[in-house]
Structure 1
Amino acid sequence: MFNRISQHLGVPADAPTAEQAREAAAELSARAREGYDQARAGLEQALASTREQIVRHPARSLAVALALGAMVGWFIKRR
């Protein structure tokens, strides 16, 4: 019966089945989850490194924060 319906609707014979679509969706979901986990690990590592640099060099960190704040203020003011 499915074949007659698919023929009537003009669905190609080599169209993916529901099971194939589920497998593809599961694979994409797994890849996305893996990418998210890798990005999160990289972000946590960068955050830990930044905290360590702030603790080791507080004066330099304050100067960088002041410079960035001045730049952002200058860019906002120009608009």
Structure 2
Amino acid sequence: MFNRISQHLGVPTDAPTSEQAREAAAELSARAREGYGQAREGLEQALSSVRSQIVRHPARSLAAALALGAMVGWFIKRR
């Protein structure tokens, strides 16, 4: 089990020490935080785009929400 974990983290298997594992985990965590920031920026852009579409076309947005709600209700009812 430890060998698979060390391989995933990139720790050398010949001398796995806690310091090497800690460094590899810190690097992996930093990469994950960077990806999270990029995903969050994309989500914020999408949310602002949706909000602007709702403001520009309120009737169309209401119709789409009603249709989506009806579909979800239909799927739940069929269960």
One fold, TM greater than 0.5? yes
Q: Mark the runs of 5 or more structure 2 residues left unpaired by the alignment.
A: 1-12
Number of residue pairs the alignment of both structures matches:
67
CA distance in 2, matches of 1:40, 1:67: 28
2:29 aligns with: 29
CA distance in 1, matches of 2:37, 2:29: 12
TM-score by length of 1: 0.78
1:55 aligns with: 55
CA distance in 2, matches of 1:35, 1:58: 34
CA radius of gyration, larger in: 1
CA distance in 1, matches of 2:61, 2:36: 29
Query: Are positions 1:15 and 2:11 aligned together?
Result: no
TM-score by length of 2: 0.78
Q: Which has the higher contact order (CA 8 A, sep 6+)?
A: 2
Task: For residue 65 of structure 1, report the CA deviation from its aligned partner.
Answer: 0.4
Q: CA RMSD in A?
A: 1.3
Task: For residue 31 of structure 1, report the CA deviation from its aligned partner.
Answer: 0.7
1:40-73: per-residue Cα shift (whole Å, max 9, x none)?
A: 1111111100000000111110110010011011
CA distance in 2, matches of 1:59, 1:30: 44
Q: Mark the runs of 5 or more structure 1 residues left unpaired by the alignment.
A: 1-12
1:73 aligns with: 73
List structure 1 runs of 4+ shifted beyond 4 angstroms. none
